C-alpha cells in the first residue's frame, strides 16, 4: 500500500464504503465485538445455513424419510454440489465430486494418479505440506508401488526451485499445496504443472487454502487431479466434505483405490463384483454425510453470487493493508512478516513471527500473544513453532477490521499483558 504512512481508521472506513463486496458481510453471522481472522481454518456461518439445515432435517429427513434419496436428490448430491464447486476452481461440469475428508480424498487421487504412471517409482511432495498430506502419501507409496514389491520412493522439496533437481523420468506423481497452510505462499499453478508434465509426471494439487480465497483455473493449467476442503473459505461448516477434481481426459482410465458401492456403475444391482461407474462418480466411496453436505449446499448459494476477480482484488487490499500496518506499528516488538510480500505469490493469509533478534519476545511467545489477542476479540491462530496466522476471508472481513486487529495486537504487545501465565496454557487445538 503506497499511502501507508497516511492510513488511519477513517481511510479504512472509506475503503469499506467503496468495497464492491461489502454487502456479503450481511450474509454471515458474526458475533458482535469479534474480528474473525481465522476463516482460513473454519469459515464463518452463513445466515441462511441454520434454516436450510432445519428444512433438510425436518422436511427431507423427518417427513421425506427414505424417499428423500430420490425425491430430494440425496443420492446425486455429491455430483450436483461438485458441479457448483467447479466454477470456483476452473473445472468443467462432471469433473468434481464431493469426497469424505480431504485426507481420504488425497489418498483416492494420489493412488489413482500413480496407477496411471506404471513403472515410475518415485513420488514428489514438499516438506512444508500440511502433515496429513505427507502421512497419507506414506500409504500411497506403499500401496501404489511399481509392482516390484518396493514402496514408491518419496522425494521432498523445500521450494519450487528444488523441482528440477527431483523431477526425473522415474517420477510418477507430484503432490503440492497451491497455497501453503503456514506462510500463505502461493505457487504459480500453471507454471509448476507445466514443469511436472515436462518430466512426464502427473500433477495433484491440494487446494484447501485456495478455493474461495484466490482464483484457480485447473483446466487452463492442464492439471491432472486436485482435492480441497470446504470448511475453510467456502464456509460449509465444521467437518463439511472435501471435493475431488479429475481432469476429463483421465476419467475413463483412472482407478481409485477405495472401491465403495457409491462409486459402482450399478450400486442397486447389489452384485458381488466391483465395476467402476463412468466419470467422476467412480471417485465416490460410501453414503455421503448428508447433514454436512447440506451445510455446504447453503454456503454455495452465497458463492453463486461472488465475482472471483473482485474477491482477489479485495483479498490483496486486505493483506497489503495488514502488512503495511504491521510494518509501521508492530516493528518495535520485532514482529516480522513471514508471508511473501509480493502479492502474486501470496494467498489470502498473512503469517507473523517474532524475529530471532527481538530481545523481549521469542518465537514461542507467539502462542501466548495469540491467546491474549483472541481474548480481546481478534481471532487468528498459532502454528508451532513460531507462526501467528491471520486469514482474510474477503466476503466478511472489512478494512476497518484489519485496522482494529492491528490496534489490538499493538495494545497486547505494548502492555505485555500476554505475559500472564494463563495465556501460555495450551489447548488440544491451537
Which amino acids are annotated catalytic?
130, 206, 231-232, 389
Told to check if 177 binds ligand PLP by CB under 6 A, we report yes
Taking CB under 6 A as the binding criterion, the range among 81-89, 100-108, 321-329, 343-351 that sits at the site for ligand PLP is 100-108
DSSP-derived letter for residue 357 is: T
* Pairwise CA distance, residues 396 & 301, whole Å: 15
DSSP three-state, residue 324: helix
Which lies closer to ligand PLP via its Cβ, residue 130 or residue 333? 130
Burial (CB count within 10 angstroms: exposed 0-12, middle 13-18, buried 19+), residue 160: middle
* Pairwise CA distance, residues 341 & 345, whole Å: 8
Q: Which H or E run includes 404? A: helix 399-415
Which lies closer to ligand PLP via its Cβ, residue 103 or residue 248? 103
Taking CB under 6 A as the binding criterion, the range among 13-21, 45-53, 127-135, 348-356 that sits at the site for ligand PLP is 127-135
Which lies closer to ligand PLP via its Cβ, residue 28 or residue 181? 181
**Footprint (CB under 6 A) of ligand PLP, residues 369-428:** none
| Of the residues 28, 130, 243, 382, which one makes contact with ligand PLP according to CB under 6 A | 130
Q: Least distance from C-beta 106 to ligand PLP, angstroms?
A: 7
- State the binding string over 47-86 for ligand PLP (x if CB under 6 A, else -): ----------------------------------------
Which lies closer to ligand PLP via its Cβ, residue 144 or residue 227? 227
Q: Least distance from C-beta 360 to ligand PLP, angstroms?
A: 31
Sheet harboring 202-206: ordered strands across? Answer: 96-98, 243-246, 225-228, 202-206, 171-177, 122-126, 153-157
DSSP three-state, residue 303: helix
Which lies closer to ligand PLP via its Cβ, residue 92 or residue 134? 134
Told to check if 208 binds ligand PLP by CB under 6 A, we report yes
* Pairwise CA distance, residues 280 & 102, whole Å: 16
Which lies closer to ligand PLP via its Cβ, residue 85 or residue 372? 85
Told to check if 101 binds ligand PLP by CB under 6 A, we report yes
Q: Hey, what's the cell of 58?
A: 425436518
* Pairwise CA distance, residues 364 & 354, whole Å: 9
Q: Least distance from C-beta 241 to ligand PLP, angstroms?
A: 9
Which lies closer to ligand PLP via its Cβ, residue 105 or residue 281? 105
Which lies closer to ligand PLP via its Cβ, residue 141 or residue 242? 242
Q: Residues touching ligand PLP: how many (CB under 6 A)?
A: 13
DSSP three-state, residue 127: coil
* Pairwise CA distance, residues 196 & 203, whole Å: 7
Q: Least distance from C-beta 101 to ligand PLP, angstroms?
A: 3
Of the candidates 187, 190, 195, the one whose C-alpha atom is nearest the C-alpha of residue 128 is 187
User: Is it true that the peptide bond before 37 is cis, omega within 30 degrees of 0?
Assistant: no
Side-chain-side CA neighbours of 142 within 13 Å: the count stands at 7
Locate all alpha helices (DSSP H) within 57-124, ordered by sequence. Answer: 68-71, 77-85, 102-115
Told to check if 132 binds ligand PLP by CB under 6 A, we report yes
Q: Least distance from C-beta 206 to ligand PLP, angstroms?
A: 5
| Of the residues 88, 114, 157, 229, which one makes contact with ligand PLP according to CB under 6 A | 229
- State the binding string over 181-200 for ligand PLP (x if CB under 6 A, else -): x-------------------
* CB-based contact 78:265 (threshold 8 Å): no
| Of the residues 102, 128, 235, 240, which one makes contact with ligand PLP according to CB under 6 A | 102
* Pairwise CA distance, residues 109 & 245, whole Å: 9
Of the candidates 58, 168, 65, 57, the one whose C-alpha atom is nearest the C-alpha of residue 122 is 168
Taking CB under 6 A as the binding criterion, the range among 74-82, 112-120, 129-137, 338-346 that sits at the site for ligand PLP is 129-137
- Which residues, at least 6 apart from 255, have a Cβ–Cβ distance to it below 8 Å? 112, 115, 276
- Interacting residues with ligand PLP (CB under 6 A): 101-103, 130, 132-133, 177, 181, 206, 208-209, 229, 242
Amino acid at each position: 500500500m503506497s499511502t501507508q504512512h497516511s492510513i488511519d481508521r477513517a481511510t479504512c472506513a472509506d475503503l469499506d464504503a467503496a468495497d464492491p463486496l461489502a454487502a456479503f458481510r450481511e450474509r454471515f453471522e458474526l458475533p458482535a465485538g469479534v474480528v474473525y481472522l481465522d476463516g482460513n481454518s473454519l469459515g464463518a456461518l452463513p445466515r441462511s445455513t441454520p434454516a436450510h439445515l432445519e428444512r433438510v432435517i425436518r422436511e427431507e429427513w423427518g417427513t421425506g424419510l427414505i424417499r428423500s434419496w430420490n425425491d430430494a436428490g440425496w443420492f446425486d448430491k455429491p455430483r450436483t454440489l461438485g458441479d457448483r464447486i467447479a466454477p470456483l476452481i476452473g473445472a468443467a461440469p462432471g469433473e468434481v465430486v464431493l469426497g469424505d475428508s480431504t485426507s481420504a480424498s488425497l489418498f483416492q487421487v494420489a493412488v489413482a494418479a500413480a496407477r496411471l504412471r506404471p513403472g515410475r517409482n518415485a513420488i514428489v511432495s514438499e516438506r512444508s505440506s500440511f502433515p496429513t498430506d505427507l502421512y497419507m502419501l506414506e500409504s500411497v507409496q506403499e500401496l501404489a508401488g511399481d509392482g516390484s514389491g518396493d514402496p514408491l520412493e518419496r522425494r521432498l522439496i523445500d521450494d519450487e526451485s528444488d523441482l528440477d533437481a527431483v523431477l526425473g523420468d522415474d517420477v510418477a506423481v507430484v503432490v503440492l499445496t497451491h497455497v501453503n497452510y503456514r506462510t500463505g505462499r502461493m505457487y504459480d499453478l500453471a507454471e509448476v504443472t507445466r514443469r511436472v508434465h515436462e518430466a512426464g509426471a502427473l500433477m495433484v494439487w491440494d487446494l484447501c487454502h485456495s478455493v474461495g480465497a484466490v482464483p484457480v483455473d485447473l483446466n487452463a493449467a492442464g492439471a491432472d487431479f486436485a482435492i480441497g476442503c470446504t470448511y475453510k473459505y467456502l464456509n460449509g461448516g465444521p467437518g463439511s466434505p472435501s471435493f475431488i477434481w479429475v481432469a476429463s481426459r483421465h476419467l475413463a482410465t483412472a482407478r481409485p483405490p477405495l472401491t465403495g458401492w457409491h462409486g459402482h456403475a450399478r450400486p442397486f444391482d447389489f452384485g458381488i463384483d466391483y465395476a467402476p461407474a463412468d466419470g467422476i462418480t467412480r471417485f465416490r466411496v460410501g453414503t455421503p454425510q448428508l447433514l454436512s453436505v447440506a451445510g455446504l449446499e447453503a454456503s454455495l448459494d452465497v458463492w453463486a453470487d461472488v465475482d472471483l476477480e473482485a474477491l482477489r482484488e479485495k483479498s490483496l487490499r486486505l493483506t497489503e493493508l495488514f502488512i503495511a500496518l504491521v510494518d509501521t506499528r508492530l516493528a518495535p516488538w520485532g514482529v516480522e512478516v513471514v508471508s511473501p510480500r509480493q502479492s502474486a505469490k501470496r494467498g489470502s493469509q498473512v503469517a507473523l513471527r517474532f524475529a530471532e533478534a527481538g530481545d523481549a519476545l521469542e518465537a514461542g511467545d507467539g502462542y501466548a500473544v495469540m491467546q491474549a489477542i483472541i481474548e480481546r476479540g481478534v481471532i487468528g491462530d498459532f502454528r508451532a513453532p513460531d507462526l501467528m496466522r491471520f486469514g482474510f476471508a474477503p466476503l466478511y472481513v472489512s478494512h476497518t477490521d484489519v485496522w482494529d486487529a492491528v490496534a489490538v495486537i499493538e495494545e497486547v504487545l505494548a502492555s505485555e499483558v500476554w505475559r500472564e501465565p494463563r495465556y501460555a496454557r495450551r489447548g488440544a487445538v491451537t
